[in-house]
Every structure is written in C-alpha cells, then in structure tokens.
A and B are shown apart, each in its own frame.
Chain A
Amino acid sequence: MTTDVRESLAEVATSARADFEHSDPADLTVPVMRYVRRYRATRFAASALGVVLVVSGALLGADALTSVRESAIEPDEPVATPVGMSEDEATTPWSTLALAAVTEPRAYGEKRIDSAAGMICHHSDPADDPRVAIENQSDPLGSELVVTAQCAPVWFKNGPITSDRNATSAITQTPASVSSATVIGNLSDRPLAIDGESIFMWIELAPGDFAADAPTAYPHALVGGSMWDEQGNISALLGSDSHPTRIIPGQYLVASGLATELDGRGPLDDLVASGANFTVTFWARIHEDSPHNGSSYLVRLGEEHIYGGLRS
C-alpha cells in the first residue's frame, strides 16, 4: 500500500509541477527578494539604531534608555508571532492598502486609544509625488526640499499605534530655532515602515484657530497657527526616502527635528519672541513603492506635546 500511496502523491506532485511550469518565476522571486532585502536592511538599520541609542544613552546618562538599548540591539529574529496572525502578517509592515481598509474620519480634538492618528494626501497628478524629486537629492544630511500638501485627517483603527517617551523640546533666540526629540515605540502587532526622510514636526501656535494663515515650511518642520484649516483639512510636509526605516514592535526610533530661522524674520522669530506655548507633533509617511491609489499615507508618531515658550 505504501507504494500505491507514494505513486498517488507523485501523480499529484507531477500535476502541480506542470502547473508551476506555466507560471512566471518572477511572481515567486520578486516578493521573496523584496522581503529578504527589507529583512536584511532592517537588521542593518537595527544595528545602526542600536549604536545611535547607545551613544544617546551615554550622552544623556539616561537609565530610562536601558531597555531601549537592549530591545534595539538584541532581537535580530522577529519577535514572537502574535496570537491569531500568521508569521507573514507579523513581519510584513503596515501597507497603505491595509490602512485604507481601517480608515475612519477624524475630527479636531477627537481622541482615541484604539486608533492611530493619520492623514491621507491625494495627488491629482502622480508626477507631483515629491518622492521622485527627493530621490535625486544627494545631500547626506537629508533633503532640503519642502513640499506641502493638503490632506484628509483620518484614524487608522487598530492600526500602527505608537507611543513616545522622553519627549523634549528646546528653543534658541539667535538664531530663532525650535528643536524637539522623542523616542517612538511601535505598539501595534506588525512593523511600521516609514520614509526616514519624511519625518517632520508640526509646531502649532494656536491649534484651535482654523482661520490661521498657511504654515511656513522648513526642512522637516511646519510652523503655523493650526494644522487644521476651515475645511477640515490638514497641511502636511511630504518628505520622502527610497529606503524604508522600520520600527518593529518592541523596538524604538528616535525622532527629532530642528527648525531654524536663517533668512530674516519669520514665524519662528515670532514664536520665540512671544514666549507663548506651542504644540509639537511628529509625523511620517508610510514607505511603499506603490501606495494605494498613489496617495501619501502619513501616521502620527507618538502623542502631541505642549511646551512652554521662553520669556526674555
């Protein structure tokens, strides 16, 4: 009987093999290569991030970063697969298609603990996608391009929710500048892949003033009255990067931004001179070669923080 069983299964295998011969090998190799490249790049990035965090921790003397260092350096294997998910799902970053499926409208002032705040920016002309222009930049310190867009505020229900800690901000008077940094953790059950160059901070001086003037764009920062306009849209800065930066559940990313007023007077001068409070949030664009509908999906990194101004 064993021989009969073996022959039957061999028949089945032969039939399947014939089926495979009619397929395009690229259907198999392309996604595998993409996955493997991302996996290897993430391991490299995780090592680099570990070095950065060790240096940061040493400089700050921060015991609080101990767990960050450990979690960033040690796991080179994916963390345990969450219950109810396949391993593929647990290691595949959030895609814009997956986010589109859990998108819900977001109103000003609304707070949720089960959703990630985000925005979706539709591009009427794909050629306007700043990704193309930014990829041609060779500045090792990052792109200086400042491309803004009007985007729809959304929630990603049960999406890439992030936490933050050790959030801090500093201002200087001459030249007028505002810097901020925070340690971002991924609370969701799958990796968050973002364009590293797309991280920017929104500095709001009057968050509830929907009639405020349009914000001023700096590299990696938007400064203005409110990120919301009267139509309920949000202004966003669309930086981009050809390589993803992944935040794996259980690991952390240091997000930082610096806006400096170098050309005469501007809103940063006014902010510093006023001594008023200001609100800072960090945002980043989901990395994907072909995002859903060609739109830019942005997700908020951590929570919003209100800082006090400097009175001279």
Chain B
Amino acid sequence: MSTWTETLDALVRERGSALYGYAFVATGDRAAASNLLRHALSRSFRHAPNNMPVDAAHAYVKREMQSAVFAGREFRDRRPLGNASSAATSSNAVHDAIVALPARERICVIMRVVDGLSSNQIALELDLDPATIRACVAAGVEQLAHTHAHLGFAPEDLDGGRDEEVFVVDARRRGR
C-alpha cells in the first residue's frame, strides 16, 4: 500500500510537468504557475487517502487548479520552479490574449479549448451551474474577438456545438 507521500512523489515525478504546463497556460506566469500548482497539491493532499491512484490524484489536482483560477486567487508572490534564466512569461500572442482575460473567463476558455470540454462538462468539473459557465465562455470569447480580432477569434469557433451532445449528469456529485 502506498502512502499519500509516495503518491505525491509519484504524481510530481510522472505528471508534474504536465500539471505545471497546464498551470502555466492558465496563469501565463512562471511564479504564478508554480504557486498555483503548490496550492493545488496542498489542497488535494490534505484529505488524500493512502493508496490513491496517481490518475485520481492528477484529476484532483487539476480540478483544484481550475477551481482556484476560477475563484480568482492570486499566486504571484513566491519563487518560481524551473530554470531561473528562462522567460517568466510566454511570448505567444494567442496565449497572451487568453491570459489577459479575467480569471473566470480565462479558465473557462482554457477548459473549453485545451481540455475540449463542453460548458456542461466544465460546470460539472467546477461544481457550478452550467448557465454560469456558458456566460463565462461567451464573455471570454466575445472579449477575445473584440480585443484580439487580428488573431481571428470568433465566437462560433470556440462556443457551441459540444453542448448539444448527450450528457449524463453524475447525480452523486451534483447532490453534494
């Protein structure tokens, strides 16, 4: 049986880079990404049982990151991980445009684009009302189309379509 510390070690070793990459996409800043990841790991492992599979831990941590960004928490005050000489932010125009969005809209757009989730699925992940998520996605895409028109963002590209899929709500989670 593995203890929670062994699970944490394995998670960071096997999935740490993926989680950090996601955190960086979500924050656009190395220090903020490091702190977001630390925060999510800390929150996830506070109650983590022994013998938790790495896959489950990965999902918990990712969801904590998404929730933290959605809640607008700031993580910009500590030392970043990784190569100190590398750029603190990305130089990718698309990413810069998304990072410039307010936190809620940003994480909704990222979950839509990177994770390929529908608004209903995002709502389930964040334990929020689907209407709230739809409004967030719409606002984010609209702002991107307005402020970064030269990048070619268009509402029909990022919104719609997936929500029409048949979707089964997990009643146990919704009932929490």
Contact = CB atoms under 8 A, between A and B. Distances in A.
Contact of A28 (B25, B38, B46, B86): B38
Contacts of A11: 92
B8 A20 contact: no
A87 B73 CA distance: 8
Interface residues of B, number: 50
Interface of B: 4-5, 8-9, 12-13, 16-18, 20-25, 30, 33-35, 37-39, 41-42, 45-46, 73-75, 77, 79, 81-83, 86, 90, 92-95, 98, 110, 113-114, 116, 152-154, 157-158
A15 B25 CA distance: 10
A6 interface: yes
Contacts of B158: 1-2, 5
Contacts of B33: 16
Q: Specify the main secondary structure of chain B where it touches its partner.
A: helix
A20 B42 contact: no
A29 B95 contact: no
Lowest 3 A-B CB distances belong to which pairs? A13-B21, A16-B24, A8-B94
Contacts of A14: 21
B9 A29 contact: yes
Given A5-B158, A17-B18, 6 more contacts: A9-B25, A10-B114, A13-B25, A21-B17, A23-B82, A25-B12
Contacts of A165: none
Contacts of A20: 16-17, 20-21, 81-82
A110 to B, nearest CB: 32
A27 interface: yes
A32 B81 CA distance: 13
A17 B5 CA distance: 23
B42 A35 contact: yes
Contacts of A28: 12, 16, 34, 37-38, 41, 81
A1 B153 contact: yes
B114 A6 contact: yes
B95 A19 contact: no
Contacts of A40: 46
A86 B17 contact: no
A31 interface: yes
Contacts, number: 124
Contacts of B45: 32, 36
Contact of B94 (A4, A19, A23, A25): A4
Q: Specify the main secondary structure of chain A where it touches its partner.
A: helix
Nearest to A16: B24
Nearest to A24: B81
Interface residues of A, number: 35
Given A8-B94, A8-B95, A32 B20 contact: no
B82 A5 contact: no
Contacts of A22: 82-83
Contacts of B21: 12-14, 16-17, 20
Nearest to B37: A28
A7 to B, nearest CB: 9
A13 B24 contact: yes
A86 B75 contact: yes
B113 A2 contact: yes
Contacts of B114: 6, 9-10, 13
B90 A12 contact: yes
Contacts of B93: 8
A40 B45 CA distance: 10
Contacts of B8: 29, 32-33, 36
A35 B81 CA distance: 18
Contacts of B154: 1
B172 to A, nearest CB: 21
30 contacts: A2-B113, A2-B157, A2-B158, A4-B94, A8-B92, A8-B93, A8-B95, A9-B94, A9-B114, A10-B114, A12-B24, A13-B18, A13-B21, A13-B22, A13-B25, A15-B90, A16-B21, A16-B23, A16-B25, A16-B90, A19-B86, A27-B79, A28-B34, A28-B37, A28-B81, A31-B38, A33-B5, A39-B42, A86-B75, A86-B77
